[in-house]
Amino acid sequence: MTGKSSTDPIYDTNWPDMPPEIKLKCIRKLKFRDRLSLRCTAKAERSLVDSQKIDFTKGMFWGTDKFLGLMLYRDNHFDVGKCSADIKEEPFKLMNYIKKVGVFENLQFTCGSSFTDNQQFVTDIELFTARQIEFDVYNNANVVALLRKMKDGIESIKIDFHIEMEYSLDEILAVSHVQNVPYWHIKDYNETDSLRKVAQMWIDKNSEVGCTFQVSIEEKDGSFEVFLEHFTDRIVSKNEKRVRIHTNHPDRHILLERGLNDYVEDDDFPQFFRLLVIPTGMKESEYDENCKEWICKIDPEYYDDHDSESSFEEHDDEDDDVDFR
């Protein structure tokens, strides 16, 4: 840069001799781990490094109350993937730094015990910035605490619960990010209350057309019936596959769809439901009849698993017809 003009001063090649504007250009090119190293050299360098945001394609965090692991990707390329013990930063100090500078396209959390009980994490004011977030959790407290640590602007929330955990959907629904997100789903839920609670929240919050919630429910029947009973006075139309109800807004209805398919009667597989805020003027002929597409959004391997099992059963049937004499 200095070589382009003879009037510009010529700087030494040593880092301390470079002006801040040149250092910032260099910092933007550094990988995450190199930035961590640079910010440890001096207070001035720490201030420069911390002033620069980092765009991550994906971030993955996993851990417990005493352990934190991470993997970070930039432009879909692996940037850093070391456990906290291998990085010369205390685990939650590192996480708080990432919250300060990271801008994530996709942010994923896998949590065992409630590592968000850590006092430093709870009291730190920094927030994560992400467009899409995903949870694979065994503790409802982690979901609520992490959602509260997110900045506004989330477009998608995906929650994968586990059957053995206890649920507290009311706490999740109370978080503003859930109330305002365009799309969210819960995979492997095991209660019958989600559909009517989400629809009621949308009615109370006057949610926008296009808001979508999906859920897969393991083992328990009754979600469709619970929804019907709760909104009896609001029903506009209904059949075995769909229920349409009116809201308090004259221009908006809520549509509940059941993901009927070849396996819906099989007790070994979950039931799928989708809720949508739709315009009042939408006709039945405009409904999306392709439930496979939206089911695969919540469980991409669902049809692959069934297809492989069906093929296996067909193969077994063929073997039964073979004469081995």
Q: Is 269 inside any structural domain?
A: yes
pLDDT tens per residue, range 175-226 = 999 999 999 999 988 888 999 999 999 999 999 999 999 999 876 678 999 9
pLDDT of residue 255: 98
User: Quick check: 234 pLDDT over 90?
Assistant: yes
Q: Is 12 inside any structural domain?
A: no
pLDDT of residue 274: 97
d(C-alpha 61, C-alpha 133), whole Å: 11
User: Quick check: 266 pLDDT over 50?
Assistant: yes
Q: Is 143 inside any structural domain?
A: yes
Q: Is 323 inside any structural domain?
A: no
pLDDT of residue 310: 41
Each as own residue / partner, the long-range contacts of residues 162-167 (CB below 8 Å, 24 or more positions apart, any chain) are 162/137, 162/138, 162/188, 163/188, 163/190, 163/218, 163/219, 164/138, 165/137, 165/138, 165/139, 165/140, 166/140, 167/140, 167/191
pLDDT of residue 94: 79
User: Quick check: 323 pLDDT over 90?
Assistant: no
pLDDT tens per residue, range 123-171 = 778 899 999 999 987 777 788 888 998 999 999 999 987 655 566 799 9
Q: Which of 34-43, 98-107, 251-260, 299-308 is the least confident region?
A: 299-308
Could you tell me if 267 and 201 are in contact, meaning their C-beta atoms sit under 8 angstroms apart? no
β partners of residue 184: 157, 213
pTM comes to: 0.82
Residue ranges making up the domain that contains 154: 53-318
Angle at 293 between CA 150 and CA 137, to 5 degrees: 35
Q: Is 187 inside any structural domain?
A: yes
pLDDT of residue 105: 96
Structural domains in the chain (count): 1
d(C-alpha 181, C-alpha 179), whole Å: 6
pLDDT of residue 312: 33
Q: Is 189 inside any structural domain?
A: yes
pLDDT of residue 283: 96
Q: Is 8 inside any structural domain?
A: no
Between the CA atoms of 297, 303, 304 and 310, what dihedral angle is there, to the nearest 10 degrees? 170
What Rg value do the Cα atoms of the chain yield, rounded? Answer: 25
Out of 56-70, 71-85, 285-299, the most confident range is 285-299
pLDDT of residue 144: 87
d(C-alpha 217, C-alpha 195), whole Å: 11
pLDDT of residue 311: 38
Could you tell me if 80 and 57 are in contact, meaning their C-beta atoms sit under 8 angstroms apart? no
Phi-psi region of 206 (alpha: psi -120 to 50; beta: other; left: phi over 0): left
pLDDT tens per residue, range 278-316 = 999 999 999 998 898 999 999 888 877 555 444 334 444
pLDDT of residue 199: 98
> What is the chain's percent helix, strand, coil content, to nearest 5?
40, 25, 35
User: Quick check: 59 pLDDT over 70?
Assistant: yes
Out of 29-33, 118-122, 293-297, 317-321, the most confident range is 293-297
Q: Predicted confidence band at 15 (pLDDT cuts at 50, 70, 90)?
A: confident
Share of the chain above pLDDT 90, in %: 46
Q: Is 107 inside any structural domain?
A: yes
Q: Which of 33-37, 46-50, 111-115, 169-173 is the least confident region?
A: 111-115
